[in-house]
Amino acid sequence: MNQSNYVKEFQQNTIIFCEHEPGNTFYLIKKGKVKISKISEKYEKTLDILSEGSIFGEMSIIEQAPRSATAIAETDVTVMEFTKENFKEILTSHPELLVNLVRILSYRTFEAKRRLSVLMIKDNEGKVIDALLMIAENMMRKNQEISDERPIAIASSIADIGHWCGLNEQATKVIVFNLEKAGKIELKPGAITIKNFQDLKRTIERKKKMAKAGLE
Which string of DSSP letters, residue by residue, matches 142-174?
Answer: H-TT--TTS-EEE---HHHHHHHHT--HHHHHH
Q: Is the pLDDT higher at 91 or at 155? A: 155
Give every CB contact of residue 172 below 8 A, 6+ residues apart in sequence: 128, 158, 159, 161, 162, 165
pLDDT, tens digit (0-9, with 9 covering 90-100), for 146-205: 888 899 998 888 888 887 888 888 999 999 999 999 999 999 887 899 999 999 999 988
* pLDDT at residue 153, rounded to an integer: 92
Question: Would you place residue 128 in the very low, low, confident or very high pLDDT band (cuts 50, 70, 90)?
Answer: very high
71 contacts 29 by C-beta, under 8 angstroms: no
204-209-210 Cα angle (round to 5): 95
Whether 122-212 and 3-117 are alike in CATH topology: the answer is no
How far is the CA of 51 from the CAs of 8, 61, 210, in angstroms?
15, 21, 39
- Domain 3-117 adopts which CATH fold? Jelly Rolls (2.60.120)
For residue 71, the Cα-to-chain-centroid distance in whole angstroms is 12
> Rounded to the nearest 5 degrees, what angle is found at the Cα of 68, between the Cα atoms of 76 and 192?
60
Query: Across-strand partners of 188?
Result: 191
> Which residue from 101, 131, 126, 107 is spatially nearest to 40, judged by alpha carbons?
131
* 203 close to 130: Cβ distance less than 8 angstroms: no
**From CA 156, how far away is CA 43, in angstroms rounded?**
16
Q: Select from 77, 101, 105, 79 the least CA-distant residue to 91.
A: 101
Per-domain boundaries in the chain = 3-117, 122-212
Q: Is 122-212 a domain of CATH 1.10.10.10? A: yes
**How far apart, in whole angstroms, are the C-alpha atoms of residue 25 and residue 60?**
8
pTM, 2 dp = 0.60
DSSP state of 6: G
> Distance between CA atoms of 94 and 116, rounded to whole angstroms?
33
Residues 6+ apart with CB under 8 A from 94: 1
Q: What is the pLDDT of residue 177?
A: 95
> CA-based Rg of the chain, rounded to a whole angstrom?
19
φ and ψ of 45, to 5 deg: -110, 125
Q: Is the pLDDT of residue 43 over 70?
A: no
Share of the chain above pLDDT 90, in %: 33
Residue 3 has pLDDT above 60, yes or no: no
pLDDT of residue 197: 93
